[in-house]
Structure 1
Amino acid sequence: MTADVSVIIPTYNRSAMVLEAVESVLGQTHASFGLIVVDDGSTDGTFEELSRINEQRMRVVRIANGGPAAARNHGVAIANAPMIAFLDSDDLWMPQKLERQLAFMRAHHDCAISQTDEIWMRGGRRVNPGLRHRKRAGDIFVDSLRTCLISPSAMIMRIELFRSLGGFNEIMRAAEDYDLWLRILMNHPVGLLDEALVTRRAGHPGQLSATIPAIDRFRILALTKLLADERLVGERRFATAAVLREKCGIYAGGLTRRGEIARAKFYDNVREGALAWSERPDSELPRAIETMRAMLTNKAAQSVIPSKARNPVSSINA
């Protein structure tokens, strides 16, 4: 019998925390689920610890290290339920999380994605998120440009939606969720079950946001890709271009302070290009995207020849 939801936990070198996350899933009440844990090439015995768990609803797979985007995509590729839910390996679910959220999705047939509220913990102590992080329902695309307002551990979505968008962008070693949520929010409102059914744990060693430098470079790529989509129009397009300009300015400033002048000029040129892209994409936009992708995958040389201000793309010789 097919489960109602496939739960996917990606993990890398978190042998203790992932066992707690798994326990919080297996303790779910009155919910039909299958659990897929994807070990992303751990070297701390995580896979061996997980393999000792004798649970029919749980499957453990091991892949070569490719980052959380690749791990989640692999989990969805082998999932067979009509809905999917993710749980980061450092987070926990309340026992009623799936039961309550599945009931919400059944009651809202037109809802393709929803999430619950969360409890935030940092360094073992409860903290209150700022107002800009407050969860809300409906069309949250513009608000999500500056602040990622969907949490992987709190959401549930219909698997067809995930697959129709191609899943997470595996080039992005960070902010891959920011990228996917924006692509979803372009066309779908988000539902909200206003109950704190997830515990989000931060402030521990190995947290991704503390180990990946300059995460804004991934967000800049996500925003630039959005502007290449001609379906993005009106207020949403202007807002996307405005946030792109902000982030490029900040990131270029940081590169300049570190002496990476050529790259700083490239992002300054992208910042200028966003003025034109706020109206419509042009022939320079795909070149900018490919240059960013090359830099993120280390396929580009260090020297960058900046173009004139109106031509926002700098050439990088591979």
Structure 2
Amino acid sequence: MKLKSNVTVIIPCYNDGQYIIKAVDSILNQTIQADEIIIVDDGSGQETKNVLKTIYHPNVHIIHQENIGVSNTRNTAIAIAQTEYILNLDADDYFDPVFIEKAIQVLNENERVGVVGCLVKILKNNIFEKEIKKPLGGGARNFLVKNNGISGSMFRKKCWEEVSGYDEKMANGYEDWEFWISILSHNWMMHIIQEPLFIYRQKAISRDQTALVKFDFELRKYIFLKHKALYEAHFEFYAIELLRQNTLLKNNVRKAKNSADYTIGQLLLAPLRFLKKKNI
């Protein structure tokens, strides 16, 4: 019989019927079982609801609600969790079977660690990318410029309580990033297991992509203003990192312009630009 873990897994689900079974199975097949899996159906369509009806397991609890967003959904589920540790899992992602075992070992052995993540394998069009995502974790300073954690992480419920949960005003994305900053600014650390135990499914259209394309500035501004004291305390580090990223961006743009594809594209467009000018 598999050991219990003092872990509740939270899986928000919004129209992810084609992936949810894989996500749930990845938890049920862990070397150490979660005490409970709470799936929150956040107003999905009938197709996903039909898939959820096929899930029968004594450790799985399904909540149905109107669509209210991922932050509110997670807070609702975490509030009723009875365990010391919480593990987030989006319905379209999944874990390697040893993640829970390794994550609770870290939390049990180090009281300063509030959050445990790992390296990430990216699955695109059902094919694994060669590159492994390697978040830094660490303290709050590492999160000032970018999110150096992953959404699929395990954390202490008391960390969630200390920061009053996920910020439900962040309806357009980056709520994980802000949540980690809030926790780590309370003198917690994020530990990253140096193994790719989390599988992130990269889709052509996703909430993450929409946040980056449409709301990036507004979301970053909100995080900055909410945690302004933290940014001021690390102003020099923050400024230097922004300068470094600006240089990298310029270099990448220059390389792209010098690439063969870009040069050919410019040559092909040249006649069209000429004709446009002649018509003005």
Shorter-chain TM-score: which interval?
0.7 to 0.9
What's 1:175 paired with? 174
The answer as to 2:179 corresponding to 1:188 is no
Q: For the Cα contact (< 8 Å) 2:224–2:231, is it kept in 1?
A: no
Q: How many residues align?
A: 238
Q: For the Cα contact (< 8 Å) 1:224–1:244, is it kept in 2?
A: no
What's 1:216 paired with? 217
Identity %: 24
In structure 2, distance between residues paired with 1:3 and 1:219 = 36
Deviations 1:104-129 (A, max 9, x none): 22222332212122211223232255
What's 1:254 paired with? none
Q: CA 1:38 to 1:235, structure 2 compared with 1: closer, same or farther past 3 Å?
A: same
Bigger Rg, which one: 2
In structure 2, distance between residues paired with 1:221 and 1:245 = 21
Equivalent position amino acid for 1:144 in 2: F
Where does the alignment leave 5 or more consecutive residues of structure 1 unmatched?
248-318
Q: For the Cα contact (< 8 Å) 2:115–2:156, is it kept in 1?
A: yes
In structure 2, distance between residues paired with 1:194 and 1:245 = 29
Q: CA deviation at 1:89?
A: 1.1
Equivalent position amino acid for 2:7 in 1: V
TM-score normalised by structure 2 residue count: 0.76
What's 2:200 paired with? 200
Equivalent position amino acid for 1:162 in 2: W
What's 1:257 paired with? none
Q: CA deviation at 1:17?
A: 0.9
Equivalent position amino acid for 1:96 in 2: V
Q: Which runs of 4+ in 1 moved over 4 A?
A: 237-247
What's 1:102 paired with? 104
Q: CA deviation at 1:14?
A: 0.9
What's 1:123 paired with? 125
What's 2:227 paired with? 226
Query: RMSD over aligned Cα, in angstroms?
Result: 2.6
From 164, 167, 170, the equivalent of 1:166 is 164
From 44, 47, 50, the equivalent of 2:49 is 47
Q: CA deviation at 1:235?
A: 4.7
Q: CA deviation at 1:210?
A: 3.2
In structure 1, distance between residues paired with 2:178 and 2:34 = 29
From 147, 154, 157, the equivalent of 1:156 is 154
Q: For the Cα contact (< 8 Å) 1:223–1:244, is it kept in 2?
A: no
Q: For the Cα contact (< 8 Å) 1:12–1:39, is it kept in 2?
A: yes
Q: CA deviation at 1:46?
A: 1.8
Q: For the Cα contact (< 8 Å) 2:144–2:231, is it kept in 1?
A: no
TM-score normalised by structure 1 residue count: 0.68
In structure 1, distance between residues paired with 2:65 and 2:237 = 38
In structure 2, distance between residues paired with 1:55 and 1:234 = 49
Q: Name which structure has the greater RCO, CA cutoff 8 Å, separation 6+.
A: 2
**Segment drifting more, 55-64 vs 97-106:** 97-106
Deviations 1:80-125 (A, max 9, x none): 1001010011111111111121122222233221212221122323
In structure 2, distance between residues paired with 1:33 and 1:181 = 24
Deviations 1:259-288 (A, max 9, x none): xxxxxxxxxxxxxxxxxxxxxxxxxxxxxx
